[in-house]
Structure 1
């Protein structure tokens, strides 16, 4: 180990000790959004970390949020320890246990265990940290999450590169443009639906994240984003219509604003018509409007072939599945690029049923927070269109957040705390 690396580790340890002392002495109320933002946008932090220190940076996901989580867990009161009773956490744990058990009958050489390790490091452990911290301090700010997203979008636009592996698609060095697109589109959704985000920050962040997402030329995340936000908009309008609130929305203002935006967009398009025409003709997004391009797209055809093979494997092992990692590398050529088919073929009906039950339970928990519900649908949609079980971790991290923010769970904690206070007073 080099002296440079040793000094950096000592510096991190000293900084951690000072942070611990400050939090303990000042009774700081930590915001769980910092942990979620650090986990979601970790690719940015990992990129900058590797510029100074070689090697894998994933240990930072375990080490950095560990201090506030430990303080919250062992502090006075039992708010954080409600984690041990949460049904959503137990459901996801049961699914993980079944996935680990399936390693007993998977084929030799499977890298299925790596999937669970990646999910644990990228989603489960940060999700549990955020759960513990939120239950103790009751703080989660969408503004903080938007700031993380803005920082990521700017880092992607400023430091991204066009590699030979992904020609014409901007990505952070040694990253995948699909990963970068997913994060920038998550940022846009946060700014569209998140509460109490200042409007200047919303506008700046949406602009930067939109440029970042479209620079990746990734189609699956864009389709999932449009679908999830379209469903949310339709649901919100229908609910307001049922409540008779449509007439109070001042639709005239929105219509006028819409036509002004269309007019400005038309002027800009006319000014840069040649550049726009060249970009559209060379863009990968043209398959959304030309079915012949979609059916002739090599990427699309290849994924259909992989998915048909996954269906065949599921048909051979319908109930227990073929075992974790049996239809993905290194045993197979590539991922099926469809989360449901991957889980069903490797874990069977039992494993898929456990996963589906845990996801639906988390989605129900998020029904009172429109931003979180849209994010859960959007991240799952991305995993269905162009994702895999290991590196598509965002929906799982957000599922733990949904369990933490559920109003019913908060009510149970307050009632239990009140009962304990009454008993203590009587004693």
Structure 2
């Protein structure tokens, strides 16, 4: 170990001990959004870590939020212990352990264990950390999450590169552009629907994240983003229609038409440049069906999905075992998380997964931002994702279980009963 690395480790230990002392002495209330932001945008922190230290940075995902989570868990009031009674957490846990059990009958040499480890490190454990911290301090700020996203978008734009493996697609070094696109589009959704985010932060973050997302030329995440947010807008309009509030929207029609006219004039003025830009990008398939049908990437995924369907037909109930359709070196996963889960875990595994996801979606009904994020991240996994590295929906699912308002009342009632019982004794 070189001297400068040793000194950096000593400095990191000093900072860690100082923060620990501040948490304990000043009784700091930690916002759970810091945990979600750190784990969601970890590619940014991992990039800077690799500039200084050798080796893998994934252990930071588990190490950094560990201490505040432990402090919250062992606090005197024990609010965080509601985790043990949460039905959503139990449903996800049952599905996860069923996947672990399927290693018994999976094919030799499968990548199933790797997928479960990736899910645990990126989503399950950070999600439980955030759950525990939120239940202790009752703080979650969408502004904090938006600022993490803004930082990620700027880092992606400033330090990203166009590699030979992904020509014309901006990505962080040693990263995949589709990962970077997913993060930036999540940031835009947070800024659109998140509560109490100052407008200057919303506008700047949406602009930076939008440029970042389109620079990756990733089609699946953009399609999922449009569909999920379109459903949210339709839901809002339907609610206003049922309440008879659509007549109040007329005041916005003039402004919307004015903006559309200005946009149309600008697009007409730069029609040739826009046509060249679109025709030379990967987004052509959205406008030309022949391009989609002839796209090698699209054809290859259809073939992989048909193989997954055959695997599901051969093992319909319990599945062929986790990792059975995703060899560790070929990377030929079906690019559809539902087909992947169904073929590897069968109807039983898919049923458990579907039940847990629907429960989390219902838990998110009081937060439109969370509901849209759950739909968007699942849509990305359906269009171009896999069961391991598409972890965002699981992270947001656990967050939805934590933010569900009904559980806080139960905990408060339990505390009141315990208080009365203690003083009567």
For the criterion TM > 0.5, the same-fold answer is yes
Name the structure 2 match of 1:225: 225
- Equivalent position SS for 2:214: helix
Cα deviation for residue 257 of structure 1 reads: 2.5
Name the structure 1 match of 2:374: 376
Name the structure 1 match of 2:236: 236
Name the structure 2 match of 1:110: 110
Structure 1 spans left out of the alignment, 5+ residues: none
Structure 2 spans left out of the alignment, 5+ residues: none
Q: Is the 8 A contact 1:86 1:403 kept in 2?
A: yes
Cα deviation for residue 258 of structure 1 reads: 1.5
CA distance in 2 between partners of 1:256 and 1:163 (Å): 45
- Equivalent position SS for 2:327: coil
Q: CA RMSD in A?
A: 1.3
Name the structure 1 match of 2:19: 19
User: How many residue pairs were aligned?
Assistant: 425
Is 1:298 aligned to 2:290, yes or no? no
What are the superposed Cα offsets for residues 148-169 of structure 1, whole Å, 9 maximum, x if unpaired?
1111111111111111111111
More deviation, 256-265/109-118? 256-265
Q: Is the 8 A contact 1:31 1:137 kept in 2?
A: yes
Q: Is the 8 A contact 1:39 1:122 kept in 2?
A: yes
What are the superposed Cα offsets for residues 18-45 of structure 1, whole Å, 9 maximum, x if unpaired?
0010011111110000000011110111
Is 1:259 aligned to 2:257, yes or no? yes
Name the structure 2 match of 1:390: 388
Is 1:86 aligned to 2:122, yes or no? no
Where do 4+ consecutive residues of structure 1 move more than 4 Å? none
Name the structure 1 match of 2:170: 170
Cα deviation for residue 267 of structure 1 reads: 4.4
Cα deviation for residue 333 of structure 1 reads: 5.2
Cα deviation for residue 265 of structure 1 reads: 2.3
CA distance in 2 between partners of 1:142 and 1:309 (Å): 41
Name the structure 2 match of 1:206: 206
- Equivalent position SS for 1:4: helix
Cα deviation for residue 61 of structure 1 reads: 0.5
Name the structure 1 match of 2:404: 406
Q: Is the 8 A contact 1:325 1:331 kept in 2?
A: no
Name the structure 1 match of 2:66: 66
Cα deviation for residue 47 of structure 1 reads: 0.6
CA distance in 1 between partners of 2:306 and 2:330 (Å): 13
More deviation, 256-265/223-232? 256-265
TM-score by length of 2: 0.97
Name the structure 2 match of 1:47: 47
More deviation, 264-273/107-116? 264-273
Q: Is the 8 A contact 1:127 1:400 kept in 2?
A: yes
Cα deviation for residue 243 of structure 1 reads: 2.0
Name the structure 1 match of 2:356: 358
